[in-house]
Structure 1
């Protein structure tokens, strides 16, 4: 049976990998391991060693602390759930990447304002 912390760290790895637009195969190639090994890491079946986790954090451009943030004490109900800013939908990630590719300037500023305005309107419609 997988350790609850290994499962939580694996879920965070999966979220971060998908947020970065990588497949398990691509991440495996970067780490020189099989995609099956990445699957096992993500399910918490295999524990990720500290050195390998450090390399993963560098490859995915995330602080290593992301994998450990807000992990509760053993026995808590929420300890296996990833929390924090790594929980973006694929559409949100694609939007952010596209916006980031634009040069800084008025168009980028106006698009950001537009998305915020649409979000506010949608929230008001739902209330």
Structure 2
């Protein structure tokens, strides 16, 4: 196993979160792309780099702008010095929150929750 590239790892992490929030399995995403779930696993772990064309197709399948995978990468790619366990615990909470937000009906309440989170994020 070669060295994991930090950018590939971050894009893979974002892929995993988006896939889970959409309630899609690795197999389902792989089938939609015509590749194996093992390949999806390698992408999500940052072991294999996702080509730009494939990332574009993934963004369409997951109904996300392709920029979702790139926004703020400069910060995300810097070594944080946090142990992996802390990152994984945060990722798990992030996914749970994203799922809950996704389940809210579109409208005023959902928009208010997003604004509240954004205001806390900016204050911190």
CA, structure 1 residues 94+34, in 2 after alignment: closer, same or farther (shift >3 Å)? same
Does the CA-based 8 Å contact 1:19-1:88 persist in structure 2? no
Q: Quote how far apart the aligned CAs of 1:38 are.
A: 0.2
TM-score, normalized by length of structure 1? Answer: 0.65
2:98 pairs with 1:96: no
Over 6 Å off, 4+ runs: none
- Inter-partner Cα distance in structure 2 for 1:3 and 1:94: 28
Q: Quote how far apart the aligned CAs of 1:71 are.
A: 1.1
Gaps of 5+ in 1: 82-86, 117-127
CA, structure 1 residues 77+94, in 2 after alignment: closer, same or farther (shift >3 Å)? closer
- Inter-partner Cα distance in structure 1 for 2:15 and 2:4: 15
**2:18 equivalent among 12, 16, 19:** 16
Q: Quote how far apart the aligned CAs of 1:26 are.
A: 0.9
Secondary structure of the residue aligned to 1:62 is coil
Gaps of 5+ in 2: 81-86, 88-92, 114-124
Which structure shows the bigger proportion of residues in helix conformation?
2
Q: Could you give the per-residue CA deviations for residues 59-99 of structure 1, whole angstroms, max 9, x where no partner exists?
A: 101111111111127x8324xx8xxxxx7333x34433443
For residues 1-127 of structure 1, the aligned pairs below 5 Å read: 1-72=3-74, 76-78=78-80, 88-90=94-96, 92-100=97-105, 112=109
